[in-house]
Amino acid sequence: MDELLQKAHRLYELEGDNLRNLMAKDPTYSSLLAKMESLETKLAPKLDPKTAAALTEARELLLEMAREAAFKMGYLYAHTYPLSEGLKV
């Protein structure tokens, strides 16, 4: 079981950029990120550097949380359903 989890984490790291690109193409997610970036741009000049940096970190955290949720859902799915079930279209 530990070996499987280690492989899953390696795959998560390897596919992280791929997932980021897929999420960027998703209309809902990309719209949310665009709104956050727009707010950052508007607010940054009015804020102290620490607060502006916190806004950027919040956006990055949102991305990381989504990546982590996608990984966990895939991991859960892989352990809940047989592989043949996951391959059905």
Tell me the C-alpha distance between 79 and 76, whole Å: 5
* Mean pLDDT taken over the chain: 77
Domain count, the chain: 1
Tell me the C-alpha distance between 57 and 24, whole Å: 17
Tens digit of pLDDT for each residue in 61-81?
Answer: 887 887 788 777 777 777 776
Q: Is the pTM of this model over 0.85?
A: no
* Residue 53 belongs to domain spanning: 2-86
- Which residues, 6 or more positions from 30, have their beta carbon under 8 angstroms from its beta carbon? 23, 24
Q: What is the pLDDT of residue 30?
A: 84
Tens digit of pLDDT for each residue in 13-55?
Answer: 777 777 777 777 889 888 887 888 888 888 888 888 898 888 8
Tell me the C-alpha distance between 2 and 13, whole Å: 17
